[in-house]
Amino acid sequence: MKHWIFSTQPASVVVVGITSFFLLCGPTESAAQEVCQAPDEPIYIHSTNQPVAATEALERSIRFQMLASEWHVQRGATSSIEQMCTRPAYLSIMAMGPDALPLIIGQLKSEGNDPDHWFVALHHISRGANPVPNEDRGNLVKMSRAWLDWAEREGYAR
């Protein structure tokens, strides 16, 4: 059985056994510093025939990332918010409930000045929170900033 583990957390490195560590980072400290520094991209680790222990938080993160990827494929190139937010993967993310809030906030934060349409999910999961001022509606960057500020105040930001 093959196991794929990934993390989008910049400082996270998942190591599956000491052999995998040396395969990834090399046997020397300088090689480890060179290869295993905090990446800008997700870390992908492939391990075969090794049991993998994952925390519930890691499993949620993996599920979220898989659903977010599926959502992008399912919605394709559409400008319809209704079509975007009614795709099965998006609905599955909303069904994750409050556990998805820090994951969505982290994703929104990582998108910077090109935020995706996470606002319906955030509104639904937060049970009606709406931190976006009326004058900022329709401006995705300002909407994103309002939600990130809300997450900081509410303790959802990582």
DSSP for 60-119, written as a single string? HHHHHHHHHHHHHHHH-S---HHHHHTSHHHHHHHHTGGGGHHHHHHHHHHTTTS--S-H
In Å, what is the CA distance from 119 to each residue of 77, 85, 109, 125? Answer: 18, 9, 13, 10
Decide: helix, strand or coil at residue 3: strand
pLDDT number for residue 17: 39
- 105, 148 contact by CB (below 8 A): yes
In the chain, where are the structural domains located? 2-48, 56-154
pLDDT number for residue 89: 93
What does the pLDDT look like over 54-97, one tens digit per residue? 788 888 999 999 999 999 898 888 787 888 888 999 999 999 99
Q: In the chain, which residues have pLDDT < 50?
A: 1-39
